[in-house]
Chains A and B, each alone.
Chain A
Amino acid sequence: MNEKPIKFASEQVDTEVNKENLENLDSLLNDELKQLPAGINSSKLLQPKSKTKLFKAFVVSLTGLITSAAIYEAWLFIQQMFAINPILGGIVSALVGVVLVTGIGSLIKGRVKSKRLSKREILRAELKTLDANETYGKARSKLEDISQEFQQEVDISKSLAIFQQSAQQSHNDSELIKIYSDQVLAGLDKLALEAINKHATESAIMVALSPLAAADMALVAWRSSKMLQEISRIYGCPQTAFGRLGLTKQVATNLMLAGASELIADASVELLGKSVAATVSTKVAQGIGVGILISRFGIQTMRLCRPIEFTEDSRPKLGDVRKLITTKVVAMITTKKKNQVLKQGEKDD
């Protein structure tokens, strides 16, 4: 209390256009404003902390073993080449050198971007508290950092420009986050959903058409990994092959933790799927099922990559995707059948 008002003549002081807040912000929040009741809906099961020490040691020693074996092999190989011809040996060792440098370089670079994903979770939590407490001046720099990460992968210059025009000095953090989510992230969400649609329908159709049940598994793994890569790139945190494995695991765990509400939603999906299934062959129904699974996978990936949590309005709805897949696959199969019938007819003639 008791901070005296001060008035300066304009020439007397140096001023700076206010971008960031410099005063103690937390004092602005009284307890009542910190969103009550905090209890009931906010408890959540934590991610299980797997990986015992023993397992970690195993992984480290295994990688060590494999790398040393590889180095040893390469060494032997170069020696052999030298034995045959020194020029050949020189070329080979130069090649090995190039492979090492570029490999390690890209590994590090990929790792840096890959790492962003794990930071996203912290960021999401931070932005969520800023949003809930309506603080001032803290979100802007964070959003700028995020934009930079996006810009390395996606062209968001237009939506970013709109955001910068709409965001006024007077907006508090909560307002800024909302505007950012609506103006910038909405565009990325759309891209991601398009990717999901594409991959989900493609794999649905592939499964529906593939004659081998065993191939389906491989197909699903391949397509979903591709999709993961695309979505993570859209949200500016592209994953290396290794990181993708981790992300896949995270997504799978999340799907399992998703809880009853989604299960119910899923049940209805399945029910609707069944009514379709009645009219099409089991293989086609399987295809649709796989498509839905992959789109769930994709939506969950979006959730993990997105720096701001979805709101009830911006949340992507599985129903839309499902409808699209079903119609596409069914249309596809029926035209195929028609063609077959036609061909049959031609033969009969």
Chain B
Amino acid sequence: MGVKQQIREAVELVERGLDKNVRICVTGLSGSGKTAFITSLVNQLLHQKSSTTLPFWLAHAEKRVLAVKLIPYNDLHIPEFPYAESLQAIENRLWPSSTRNISQIRISVKYQIKNKWIKKLQKTSHLNIDVIDYPGEWLLDLPLLNLDYENWCLLFNDWVSKGKQANLSLEWLNSFSSDTGQISKTDIKGLSESFRQFLLKCKTSEEAIEFIQPGRFILPGDLEGAPVLDFFPIPANANVDKNGEAYKILVQRYEYYRDNVVQPFFKEYFSKVDRQVLLVDVLKVLNQGFDSYKELQQTLSKLVTSFNYGQTNWLKRMFQPKINKLIIAATKSDQVPPEQHMAMKSFLAQMLMDAENQVSYQGVNVNTLVFSAIQVSESVTAEHDNKRISCVKGVELDNGEDVVNYPGKIPVEPMTRKQWNEQEFNFINFAIPDLTTDRQLPHQRMDRLIELLVGDKFL
């Protein structure tokens, strides 16, 4: 065997050894900015060649990124992420619409190798980045995996008796008490529909109700009209014969939903994930106050800790996740004057401190960050009462008016309930301004996010 042959084999070995695929899991409730983030990520990568706004992406700063393109992915049954459509929407000054189904995209980055040992064998390599987008509502089904029908009903009844959802649920609950309490097989369809109406009411209500289960009742995806969605939890006020036929059907459908809808989704998507980014819209809870803050805090902590990293070992057994990096990122930072970004970051860190602790204890590397996928406002100072205040200027999404907004001051220290009530915030959603999509989209700290997510993969 010649030396050349040996070298070729060594190269192949290294090639195989190099981690050339990385799967990123973008986690975030509905409206947290997942689709905007993925659109911007793809956009920044594709335009890297002429981009001067990525100084913190190290491989790029070192001029080692040679080329980037979108390539077909292996999971052929998943629809493609509508990147072109998202861009087109932006060009028409619209945000990409809320996601209704799962989709995937694969970005391949060709780069020059820096590591001096590997460099001896080969000069370049490539990294394939897989990202999946999905409706945030589906994420909240994760806890179902661990529940049987009876326990789910218990938890549900506990949830529905409290908070803002209690009022909204009255109508649905009444549809039971009118009965003698018994449900027949034929009632199931109607009751399921009114259950779904109740959930939709929660979803669209002014007060942000985050925790809405089951997720597919709001966004069925391709399950629209399928009988698997015809079930509901039995409320506390209804007494249903547990040996009756109706009850059996409910249990059967719930289990079918859990085992054949929820589980495959998480299993397929989350089992091969290496890196996770959790997107959090902290500005929304600041706008809405203490109760929303607490609810989001609990929901996210539950989510983060149940996913990963072996805390609840049923999940670990099922998926054997190998997530080794979690980035907790506050989105939409362009709604905040930049001098408050620091405060925004510490607010985020305090909110998710518990979750962060638990995850890092598992040996997962955790980082927090404040960023904006698409910067649609400008930071300005305005004169008011003889004082200069830092504001953001943009086009208000709700009414299309040009505004200069001082959103209030994000505190650096955690707030007491009293302080929450006293402090007012008004973070405004901005519309997309007139942008060209032939250049990279304006952003804030996408480069840092890229570096944190995959920077270490560019050997």
| Interface, chain A (partner B; CB < 8 A) | 1-11, 13-18, 21-23, 25, 27-30, 33, 134-137, 162, 165-166, 168-172, 175, 178-179, 182-183
Contacts and interface: CB of A to CB of B under 8 A. Distances in A.
A15 B404 contact: yes
B286 to A, nearest CB: 10
Given A28-B342, A170-B375, A172-B342, A6 B56 contact: no
Interface stretch (B202-210, B238-246, B411-419): B411-419
Contact of B405 (A4, A7, A18, A165): A7
Contact of A170 (B338, B381, B388, B412): B338
Contacts of B106: none
B444 interface: yes
Contact of B384 (A1, A2, A13): A13
A134 B381 contact: no
Nearest to B411: A1
Contacts of B401: 9-10
Contact of A28 (B372, B393, B406, B412): B412
Contacts of A3: 408-409
Contacts of B61: 182
A5 B424 contact: yes
Contacts of A5: 405-408, 424-426
B339 A137 contact: yes
Contacts of B423: 1-2
Most chain A CB atoms below 10 A, which of B54, B406, B425: B406
6 contacts: A5-B424, A8-B404, A9-B404, A28-B339, A137-B339, A168-B53
Contacts of A14: 382-383
B448 to A, nearest CB: 8
B422 A134 contact: no
Given A1-B409, A14-B383, A23-B339, A7 B53 contact: no
A18 B408 contact: no
A22 B405 contact: no
A24 to B, nearest CB: 10
B422 A7 contact: no
Contacts of B403: 7-10
B390 A170 contact: no
A134 B409 contact: no
Given A8-B403, A18-B381, A165-B52, A1 B419 contact: yes
Given A13-B382, A175-B56, 19 more contacts: A5-B426, A6-B405, A7-B406, A9-B401, A9-B403, A10-B403, A11-B402, A13-B384, A15-B382, A16-B380, A16-B382, A22-B381, A28-B339, A28-B412, A165-B53, A166-B53, A168-B53, A169-B338, A170-B334
A3 B422 CA distance: 10
B140 to A, nearest CB: 30
Query: Chain B contact residues: over half helix, strand or loop, or mixed?
Result: mixed
A30 B343 CA distance: 9
Contacts of A136: 338-339, 341-342
A134 B151 CA distance: 48
Contacts of B337: 18
7 nearest A-B residue pairs (beta carbon)? A10-B402, A5-B426, A165-B52, A15-B380, A136-B339, A5-B408, A18-B379
Contacts of A135: 342
B405 to A, nearest CB: 5
B444 A182 contact: no
Interface of B: 52-56, 61, 333-334, 337-343, 346, 372, 375, 378-384, 388-391, 393, 401-409, 411-413, 419, 422-426, 428, 444-445
Given A7-B404, A172-B341, A29 B390 contact: no
Contacts of A2: 422-424
Contacts of B346: 30, 33
B389 A23 contact: yes
A16 B381 contact: yes
Given A5-B405, A175-B56, A169 B339 contact: no
A138 to B, nearest CB: 10
Nearest to B345: A134
Contacts of B445: 170
B426 A166 contact: no
A37 to B, nearest CB: 19
Given A5-B424, A18-B337, A165-B53, A134 B406 contact: no
Nearest to A10: B402
A172 B336 CA distance: 13
Contacts of A15: 380-382, 391, 393, 404
Contacts of A134: 342
Which of B52, B342, B444 has most A Cβ within 10 Å?
A: B342
Nearest to B414: A30
Given A10-B393, A33-B346, A137-B339, A17 B52 contact: no
Given A170-B333, A175-B56, A17 B342 contact: no
B350 to A, nearest CB: 10
A170 B444 contact: yes
A117 to B, nearest CB: 29
A139 B372 CA distance: 22
Contacts of A171: 338
A224 to B, nearest CB: 32
Contacts of A183: 55
Contacts of A6: 384, 389, 405-406
A40 B382 CA distance: 44
A27 B52 CA distance: 32
Contact of A25 (B53, B339, B379, B404): B339
A92 B2 CA distance: 85
A30 B404 contact: no
Contacts of B54: 166
- The residue in A8, A11, A135, A179 that gathers the most chain B C-beta atoms within 10 A of its C-beta is A8
A274 B428 CA distance: 69
Nearest to B422: A2
A33 B426 CA distance: 26
Contact of A17 (B333, B378, B409, B411): B378
Contacts of B379: 17-18, 169-170
Nearest to B427: A5
A37 B391 CA distance: 35
Nearest to B396: A7
Contacts of A168: 53, 444
B390 A162 contact: no
